[in-house]
A and B are shown apart, each in its own frame.
Chain A
C-alpha cells in the first residue's frame, strides 16, 4: 500500500529516508499535543498535530465537533509580525492591495502580499492595533515574507517578528459561550469587552494577568476567536480552554477539511505566485479606493483583469460518488482540458467529496457539469458556489 498524495506530508515514516530539508522545529505546545495522543507531522518546518488519538480523535470526528461545539487549534507555526512607524499604513499599501489607511483601530482585514506582476506571494490578516499593525502570515511562507517586507518597507518602518508568541484558534458555535467563562478582562479601560467583538474585530485582553491579543476571526467558517499569546503562557491557556466540556483539540487534518468546506483558499495550493487575486476570487480584498488609485504591485495587470474578467477562475466543485479528487487532477469539459484541481477531499459535513479548482471562465457558472481526471479515473462534478457550507460568523 502506498500513499499517493497528502496535503500535509503525513506519510509513512519511511517517506523521508533521503537527506531532505533541515529537521523540523518544535513549538511550545509540542508535548501538550503528544500527551493527547496527537499524530505529529512535519508541516511548514514544524512538528504539528495532524489529528488526535482516543475518544473524539480522528479527522472526521474533530471536524464535526468543531461544526457542532468548539475546537481548539494550535497554529503557532504561523508568522506573527508587527509593523510600526510613521506612515506605516502608506508603507504597507505599497505591498498590499487593501485599504489599510481606512482600517480603523481594533479592526482586521484579509489581504494579500503581491509580487510585481500581481502574483500572490502570501495571504494574510492585518489588524490595526492602534499604535502598530499586526500581521499574521502563513507558516510556510513567513521567512520569505519577512525578507520581502524588510527589503521593501522604508527604513523608518520597524518590522518585528513575534517569534516567541504562539497562536491559538477557538472555533465553533460554542466558542463565544466557552470563552465568556474564562474571565478575560479588557487590557485597557477604554478597550472593548469580549461581547463587543464582532467578526473581524480585535482587542487586547488580560487573562490571569497574562496579555492576550484576541480577534474574532478564523479559518473554519464558524464563529470563533484567535489568540496571540506568549509562548510561556500558551499551555496554560490551552489547558483552560480544553478543560471546558465543549472544547476539544483539533488537528491540522480537520483544519484543512473545515477551511475547504468554508471555501477558504490555502496558500501554496489554491493560491501561488502564479495566481492573481482576480482569478482567485479575492477581488474583495482590493478595495475601491485602491482600484481607482493603484499604487500596489501588479496594479496594472490586476486592473485589466478586473475590467475584462480573468480567463480562469477559482470555483467550487461538488463531486458525484465517493472518490475524492486531489490537488493536480485535471478538469475536463468534454475531452478538452478546462482547468486544474487545487484542493480536494471528502467533506465530513456534506458526506461527499468536494474540491476547489481553477477552470476556464466559460465553464465556471454554477451548475456546469465537468469531469475530472483523478489519477487516471474519470470523476463527474458540478460547479457550485463557494462556500460549500455556509459561514456562521458573528456580525
Chain B
C-alpha cells in the first residue's frame, strides 16, 4: 500500500485499484473540533479535484477534494455518529471515503510523505 498527499491536505492510500481518502492530521489540527462530516454517495463518479465531502468544524465548513478521479465505492459510516474520529485519528480510523481509481496515472502528480512533510513545515 502506498500513501500519497495533496497540497490541500488530503491523503490517499492506494492498494490495487482502490484508494482510501482522508484529511491529514495537520489539517484536522488547523480545523479544530469537527462536528459533522458530509460524505459522497456510494457509486458517485468523481473527477480529480472535485469537492466531494465537507468537514464541518465549530469554526467553519471545509471542502474535501478527491486527489484522483474514480467512482466512490465506500464511505466511513462511523463518522455519522462520531465525527470527532477525524480529530482523534485523522489518518487511520478517520478516513472519509474509498474510490475505485479511474486513472492511476494521476497518482504521479501527488506528493509522497516526505514531500508533504516538507511542504507543511514551510506553512
Contact = CB atoms under 8 A, between A and B. Distances in A.
Interface of A: 1-8, 10, 12-14, 50-51, 58-61, 63, 253, 257, 321-324, 326, 345-346, 348, 353, 375, 377
Contacts of B38: 323, 377
A326 B61 contact: yes
A346 B36 contact: yes
Contacts of B113: none
Given A1-B23, A13-B123, A253-B58, A322 B63 contact: no
A279 B23 CA distance: 42
A324 B35 contact: yes
Contacts of A5: 60-61
Contacts of A12: 9, 30, 123
B36 A7 contact: no
Contacts of B33: 58-61
A326 B56 CA distance: 10
Contacts of A1: 8-10, 23, 27, 55, 62-65
Q: Which of A3, A5, A348 has the most CB of B within 10 A?
A: A3
A14 B27 CA distance: 13
A165 B116 CA distance: 43
A7 B51 CA distance: 22
Contacts of A50: 32, 59
B54 interface: yes
B19 interface: no
Q: Which of B10, B31, B35, B59 has the most CB of A within 10 A?
A: B59
Nearest to A51: B32
Contacts of A3: 31, 60-62
Nearest to A63: B58
Given A323-B38, A324-B56, A4 B61 contact: yes
A348 B59 CA distance: 12
Nearest to B38: A323
B61 A253 contact: no
Interface of B: 8-10, 23, 27, 30-33, 35-36, 38, 54-56, 58-65, 83, 123
B83 A322 contact: yes
Contact of A375 (B36, B55, B61, B123): B61
A323 B54 contact: yes
Contacts of B36: 321-324, 346, 353
Given A1-B63, A375-B61, 16 more contacts: A1-B9, A1-B55, A2-B62, A4-B61, A5-B61, A8-B59, A59-B32, A59-B33, A59-B59, A60-B58, A63-B58, A321-B36, A322-B56, A324-B35, A324-B61, A326-B60
List 7 tightest A-B contacts by C-beta distance, closest first: A322-B36, A346-B35, A6-B60, A59-B58, A60-B33, A1-B9, A1-B8
Contacts of A13: 123
B35 to A, nearest CB: 4
B119 to A, nearest CB: 10
Contacts of B64: 1
A13 B30 CA distance: 10
A325 to B, nearest CB: 9
Nearest to B24: A1
Contacts of A7: 59-60
A348 B64 CA distance: 24
A220 to B, nearest CB: 15
A329 to B, nearest CB: 10
Contacts of B123: 12-14
A353 B35 CA distance: 9
A7 B60 CA distance: 8
Contacts of A51: 32
Nearest to A252: B59
A180 B54 CA distance: 46
A63 B36 CA distance: 18
B75 to A, nearest CB: 15
A39 to B, nearest CB: 8
A105 B9 CA distance: 55
A12 B8 CA distance: 10
